[in-house]
Amino acid sequence: MIRNKLLIFCVVCSLSTLFAVNYTSAGLFSSPDNLQEAGEELAQNLSVAGVLANKRIAVLEFKTQGAVQDSMLGKRIAEYVSSGLVGIKDHNWDVVDRFEIARLRNEMEEHKDSVFDFNVWMRKKLQADLLVLGNYVIAGDDISITTKIVNPESGSTVSSASITLSANSEIKQLSKTRKPRTKFAGAVEDITAILTGNGRGIGNQGKSSSALKLYKIAGGNRIPFKRSNVPVFNVGDKMGFSVMPPINSKLYIFNYEPGAEKGEAILLYPIPGLRLESFPAKRTRRFPSYVSRGVTSYDVDPPLGRMVFKIIGVDDTINLDLTNSLKVEDGYYLLDSSNLNSFMDDLSSLPDISWWSEDVEFWIQ
């Protein structure tokens, strides 16, 4: 849990900073170095021979083989493959974003006691012509990923690909991390447009750096994490983060614990009674000092495990306050299962280019 002298809140991270970049053949002649490169290479191989031309494609979560319990790794692989498909230069297909799948998952809960054909249902609701399915297995120090594109009407496979790479620290950490415990946490994680860069909206397209950056604070100095390192804090550390919006934005910064039994997300900014301000594009603001003057860090406390900051930015010319759909509890705005659908409806009413989002995940040990 993260605390400071003025603000007390539980934090759980789920960063999936994804880059929609043009495919570069980093792994064509050698094994890719990380999951992002693996996703790009798989996407490139799946798209050969024009099988995806003019199609609408839904990428579903990858499954683990064997008796190992599904973890966050399958979800992350699917996200990287999705961004890889969108990042291929001059592509002529559409990819269903995770926000739509999240809304559909909520709807599916209403039919959980019914018997129906999942693939047909997905095709009708998502209007997807093709589904990307896949699985993975970790053996020793390597991970093997296989994937295929299936026509949901005929059940036929139209394309397939596989890849093997070394299991780096990100892969090992995600393979040990449980999926969100509640359906609420799973849906909140998918309130993001990972398919247009590090977030949603025209301001993030092609962006190569993160809008939200975590850092440790030691001896009064800010110590950033290297891009190749998984952000890990020890209990007793001090932390902070900075935000640099890609467009002039009204910001909403949530924090939550995906593994918590109670599904809820606390709004770190804004807080009730604080005027909702516009954050200028390309200018950095640091937290918690922006909210609590004189307070420069959060204390890192239990619980242990994966934590998430979710930031949503809305074009400041849009006349919409997302806190209107939230409730107030103990001095904070709160998002939970009782108001999640209303919140998602408000977001979905906005033009795609008028809002963006980013998740930043870290671990407490």
Is the confidence at residue 71, as pLDDT, over 90?
A: no
Token digits of residue 37: 């490169």
Peptide bond just before 288 cis, omega within 30 deg: yes
Are 35 and 83 in contact, with CB atoms under 8 Å apart?
no
Query: What is the rounded distance in angstroms from the CA atom of residue 36 to the CA atom of residue 175?
Result: 15
Is the confidence at residue 209, as pLDDT, over 60?
A: no
Question: What per-residue confidence (pLDDT) applies to 119?
Answer: 55
Is the confidence at residue 23, as pLDDT, over 80?
A: no
Is the confidence at residue 218, as pLDDT, over 90?
A: yes
pLDDT tens-digit profile of 227-269? Answer: 767 899 999 999 999 999 999 999 999 999 888 888 899 999 9
Domain ranges for the chain, please list them: 2-16+198-364, 35-181
Question: What per-residue confidence (pLDDT) applies to 124?
Answer: 67
pLDDT band with cut points at 50, 70 and 90 for residue 100? confident
pLDDT band with cut points at 50, 70 and 90 for residue 169? confident
Question: What per-residue confidence (pLDDT) applies to 279?
Answer: 95
Contacts of 344 (CB under 8 A, 6+ apart): 99, 102, 103, 106, 187, 191
pLDDT tens-digit profile of 130-165? Answer: 999 999 999 889 999 999 999 888 889 999 999 999
Question: What per-residue confidence (pLDDT) applies to 350?
Answer: 86
pLDDT tens-digit profile of 106-115? Answer: 666 555 555 5
Architecture of domain 35-181: 3-Layer(aba) Sandwich (3.40)
Is the confidence at residue 77, as pLDDT, over 50?
A: yes
Are 300 and 9 in contact, with CB atoms under 8 Å apart?
no
Tell whether pTM > 0.85: no
Is the confidence at residue 73, as pLDDT, over 60?
A: yes
Average of per-residue pLDDT across 351-361: 86
Q: Work out the mean pLDDT of the chain and round it to a whole number.
A: 80
- How far is C-alpha 174 from the geometric centre of its chain's CA atoms? 13
Average of per-residue pLDDT across 304-310: 90
Q: Among 271, 282, 212, which residue's Cα sits nearest to residue 243? A: 212
Question: What per-residue confidence (pLDDT) applies to 113?
Answer: 53
Are 203 and 197 in contact, with CB atoms under 8 Å apart?
no
pLDDT tens-digit profile of 171-184? Answer: 988 888 877 777 78
To which H or E segment does residue 157 belong? strand 157-166
| pLDDT higher at 112 or 216 | 216
